[in-house]
Amino acid sequence: MIEVRWHGRGGQGSFTVARLLGLAASVYDGKYAQAFPSFGPERRGAPVLGFTRIDDYKITDRSELDVCDYVIILDETLWGADVKVGLKENSIVLINTKNPERYQAELSQRVVGLDATQMALDYLGIPITNTAMLAALVAITGVVETESCKSAIEDSMNPKIAGKNIALFDYVVKEVASRE
């Protein structure tokens, strides 16, 4: 089973991206998936979590994730103890930052950074980084097929923004793959 934890702030799309990954895996890749949020009555800007589980077999565990294969941080101001908890030895931490080496010094796990905020501004005109971070995850891990993610974006988003998000997704996949 693959388990992904998404750290974001209310309004940044951390649950939306957890759901997009689950949709890509279950509907388009033929796997089983769960996607769910964890937040209370917080307002826009408060820290929130999203979770995605993917497996080739039916998933019966519905609890929050304790240990993760991948941790994605949509806003680097969320870096702290909560982010570092529950990492496997071979986990990958993906963070929206210009300076990933700053965070790598604190972990033995691999840290990958990208300036998803600037990429989102360039393609979407707003600093919503979830699609860029999904693309980076897919480029690094191959956890789902890129075409499956693009289909999930197209099916889930308003057509006015789906095209821009797919263009951003394609750009980030190529950019991150060229670094690998």
Average pLDDT over residues 41-62: 86
The single-letter code of the amino acid at 136 is: A
More confident residue, 179 or 180: 179
Is residue 48 scored above 60 in pLDDT? yes
CA atoms within 13 A on the CB side of 133: 33
Alpha-carbon span 172 to 163, nearest angstrom: 14
Q: pLDDT class for 156, splitting at 50, 70, 90?
A: very high
At 41 the pLDDT is 57
Of 2-6, 52-56, 82-86, the least confident: 82-86
At 12 the pLDDT is 86
CATH architecture of 2-179: 3-Layer(aba) Sandwich (3.40)
At 61 the pLDDT is 86
Burial class (CB in 10 A: 0-12, 13-18, 19+), 98: exposed
Domain ranges of the chain: 2-179
pLDDT, the chain, mean: 93
- pLDDT tens for 100-140 read 999 999 999 999 999 999 999 999 999 999 999 999 999 99
Q: pLDDT class for 85, splitting at 50, 70, 90?
A: very high
Q: pLDDT class for 39, splitting at 50, 70, 90?
A: low
- Sheet hosting strand 32-38, strand order edge to edge: 32-38, 47-55, 2-9, 68-73, 87-96, 110-114
Alpha-carbon span 115 to 110, nearest angstrom: 17
Q: Which two tokens stand for residue 117?
A: 């905020």
